[in-house]
Chains A and B, each alone.
Chain A
Amino acid sequence: MNPREIRSGVRRVFGLALRRPGASVPGADAELESMITEHVEHLVARGADPAAARAEALRALGDSTLGARSGVRSSAAHRERTLWWREAVREFFADARYGIRTLRRSPSFSIAAILTLALAIGANTAIFSAVSAVILRPLRYAAPDRLVSLYETNPDFGWTEAEVAPANYLDWREQVSSFEDVAAWNNFNGAATLTGYGEPRLLNAVSVTGNLFSVLGVRAVIGRTLDSTETWRSGAQFPVVLSYRVWRDVFGGDSGIVNRSIVLNGRSLSVAGVVPESFTIPGLDSDIYSSVNWPREDRAAVFFRRAHFVRPVARLKPGATREQADAELQTVVTRLQSQYPETNTHMGAGFKPLHDFLVGNTREPLLVMFAAVGVLLLIACANIANLLLVRAAGRQREAALRLALGAGRGRLARQAFTESAVLALAGGLAGIALGWWGTRVFVALQPPGLIPVRDIAMSWTVLGYVSAVTAVSAVAFGVAPALWMTRRVPADVLKDDGRSTTGSVRARRWGELLLVGEVALSVTLALGAGLLVRSYSELRLVHPGFESAGVLAATINLPGTRYDSAFKVEQFFNGLEQRTAALPGVVATASVSQLPLTTPAWSSQFSVLARNAPPSTEQVRHREVTPRYHEVMRVPLRSGRLLASTDGVGSRNVVLINEAFARKHFPDENPIGLTISFDRVPDATSVWRTIVGVVGDERLGTMAVAPVPEFFEPLAQEPRQGMTLVVRTSGDPAALTPALRRIVAELDPALAIVSVRTMESVRSAALARDRFLTTLMLAFAGVGVALGIVGVYGVVAQLVRRRRREMGIRVALGAGARQVQWLIVRHGLVLTLTGVVVGVGAALALTGALRTLLYEVTPADPMTFALVPLLVVASALAASWIPALRASRTAPTEVLRAD
């Protein structure tokens, strides 16, 4: 095809005029003019009057005087345009009708194609909805691009984006002038029990500095929000702000609630106002916002600089750049380091856009899923293109005949294309419906915390994206058949009487190329999914350090107002444990301040008595337990003894350590009997505790994190108001729930249980994120590979159909069934292997992106890279065998007679 042909082909396809009017014959006007001049001069030379001569010359020109001529030309151009439009529209509808008719003639093909497409587009819609809600949509605060999230860093503790000590936050707020203002919140939701409105109800409460709402630019829907003076404790009753949801669901949307008192954790608070429905603090889903209520004198306290628990958010001043702000912040940080060496040595700070903070580690799984559905769509398109190509090849005689009868190639291409467009439209619509539903399913099934925003839904952005995706896929699978259709030479096709294979060589090459691409993509996808599956199965094998079966866990927060002494707290949990232990089937009960596999507890440093070792910077986690905790959880005792009920107030302070601690800090000695304090540099006020036992390691946080050093203190010596009761039973742990609730209500009717879960479900929740991601990826890969295999089958079946005669002849000449089968299978196998090689190569280059999502599996895991291709090749082999078997069974006579 030479360039001119292509150009005119393109112009034809898009219905542009083939030549621009006015440029039809270059120089025509000049020539006409010269003829008239010659004529006039000729007449004048014979004595005519010049004016009359000109009139005569123009008359002699015929019916096209210059003025009339341009009129004719433009009206012709106009007519051409109108005609073209009318023709194009008529043609389009005719093509669409024809397309729908042909699609209805082969319903199985059409349904398969539309379903494939709908599935791929639906998956894209659902995932893109999440991507759009999390990554693309700006935060719903005023001028969100000027908001940054601040954090602390410390190489000694391995902190990269740690929470901030309140005193440091306050200094930054006052000393960094590029910040208009800095607010902060305590980075966790506390459970707060609301009483006085029916049943005691548990709400998620977060403490914030008074200026948080003004920094974020949020106004109250009714009433007011907090102001900056309300950060500090004062004599006044302290105010809370309600979330819209709580205001609507709990208080019935009553606007009289403003300035009224509510009782939270036994404490009377006044309602300041209600924030809009869309408002959340990034990463938290809170019901109630209360002030941090810091006493002013804490400002100077050492713990205010030592304990790191707030998340500051700053608003940059208009005109201030991030670089300026950072430079100022670093100056302040350096000053604080030298000013407070005890707490701030090596304590650095930094910030990043608030949006990045929100997206956090969600970005990676989301983008991986997004890439996966993108690949899936490509596979689907390649598959449909191949099916369409096969059909186009089947219709080559029709096309050739129409070409021979004078149909334009553009016309044929357009028609083939319209069919694809009809298909894409149907698939796209079905896909949007599926995606709308899929988005809901996705939101419902996603494990808590994977997606940090509440409202994921179809939006105009999503619809726009889906339309674009549909259009692109229509082009993707429509182009090959359309181009191929118009490149047929009618004579060849009509002459060969449908027997020769030469006519379809090109179509076959196209199809094979598509197939190789399809197989490669599905192999890449399957390898990605395979790695996640491998990682997940590794993760499942991880022993959490405790026996989860048969254990029920109930979390309870005692309100500090009524349980204001160690004695009251201990008495409550003792009573609870004793009464629960009396329930039928209960083997043992205990309480712990923090369950394993949940968000890690508080931590501190430590020092060992009478050692001159340099102070360690190790942060050790602390948990408070009642004596039988390790027994209930079946965590083994490695040496020494467990805690006993005699380890109480007044007796010697004791502590248990876990193996990770012993291994790391006392590798060559027996730690039992050593005395330690939780201060890095002990002083006169330090409390000394004796290590009495070493217990096995449990995993904190997630399964993927190796056990860290831990302390266990007896609850009696270190009281905590928030504890979780763990109950080991010989029966079904969940069945204990009603009895447990009854006991709690009897002990204290104003208490609400925060949560009751079986340890099995805690363990399962710890894997939820990986399971979710793995399942989704596996589903995508499954569909992808299935499509790839269907593609192999299609191409091989087509080959068999084309070479039936040849096979018949071979069989007639005495070829064995095996030989014939191998001939066919080999073809499918070569294509599959090529695809597999390309796919493996692509995967090797791409799976590095999965690194952070993988546990104990390298991105080039040999097992995955061996098994997945093997699986694909085996299935492709099976898929090629079916048509091959059919080919070898063809009776030669039947084939030879058929023509």
Chain B
Amino acid sequence: MALIRGTLDVLVLKAVSWGPMHGFEITRWLADRSEGQFQIENAALLQALHRLEERELLAGEWGVTENNRNARYYTLTTTGRTQLRADSVSVRQSVAALATILDARSPGLRGAL
């Protein structure tokens, strides 16, 4: 299942809010939490990470994984945390709005859905 456009950033922020993660961990985390529904392309994720880092919502730093390999770990910055809060609200609202629209029944189409 594909993501709704523009929601990847907030999901990444959410993932990282649990603690420093590297790219693949974030992919794994999102896949696990969505019960395998969201398969995120690594390239897209990388772009999102850099975008967020440029906006200073994330701070990236090279570190070493459990398997003793180099990986870039991302942590949430203070601005990132604020942004996450704001975005969570707005995404929730827009999803709710979407749902309202999609649930609405047209008089002319009664019984169609």
Which residues of A are at the interface with B, using a C-beta cutoff of 8 A?
25, 27-28, 30-32, 34-39, 41-42, 57, 60-64
Contact = CB atoms under 8 A, between A and B. Distances in A.
Interface string B32-57: 00000001011111100010000000
Contact of A32 (B42, B62, B69): B42
B13 to A, nearest CB: 18
B28 interface: yes
A38 B46 contact: no
Pairs A-B, 4 closest by C-beta atoms: A62-B41, A38-B24, A62-B43, A35-B23
A31 B43 contact: no
A61 B41 CA distance: 5
B72 A34 contact: yes
11 contacts: A27-B72, A28-B50, A32-B46, A34-B23, A34-B70, A38-B22, A38-B71, A42-B24, A62-B42, A63-B41, A63-B43
Given A25-B50, A38-B65, A31 B41 contact: no
A30 B24 contact: no
A72 to B, nearest CB: 11
B67 interface: yes
B65 to A, nearest CB: 7
Given A25-B50, A41-B67, A35 B28 contact: no
Interface string B5-31: 000000000000000001111011000
Given A25-B50, A38-B22, A60-B42, 5 more contacts: A31-B71, A31-B72, A35-B27, A57-B42, A60-B27
Nearest to B62: A27
B113 to A, nearest CB: 34
The residue among A35, A36, A60 with the most chain B CB atoms within 10 A of its own CB is A35
Given A25-B50, A31-B23, A36 B42 contact: yes
B69 A37 contact: yes
B52 to A, nearest CB: 12
B24 A39 contact: yes
Contacts of B22: 34-35, 38
B46 A35 contact: yes
Nearest to A31: B72
Contacts of A63: 41, 43
Interface of B: 22-25, 27-28, 39, 41-46, 50, 62, 65, 67, 69-72
A392 B76 CA distance: 48
Given A39-B24, A42-B24, A42-B28, A34 B69 contact: yes
Nearest to B67: A41
B71 A61 contact: no
A30 B70 contact: yes
Nearest to B65: A38
A39 B41 CA distance: 12
Nearest to B43: A62
B67 A35 contact: no
Contacts of B67: 41
A32 B72 CA distance: 10
A62 B23 CA distance: 14
B24 A61 contact: no
B71 to A, nearest CB: 5
B94 to A, nearest CB: 25
A648 B45 CA distance: 122
Contacts of B23: 31, 34-35, 38
Nearest to A35: B23
A63 B43 CA distance: 8
A31 B69 CA distance: 11
Contacts of B69: 34, 37-38
Contacts of A36: 42
Contacts of B71: 31, 34-35, 38
A22 to B, nearest CB: 15
A60 B41 contact: yes
Given A34-B22, A34-B23, A39 B72 contact: no
A25 B46 CA distance: 11
A351 B56 CA distance: 77
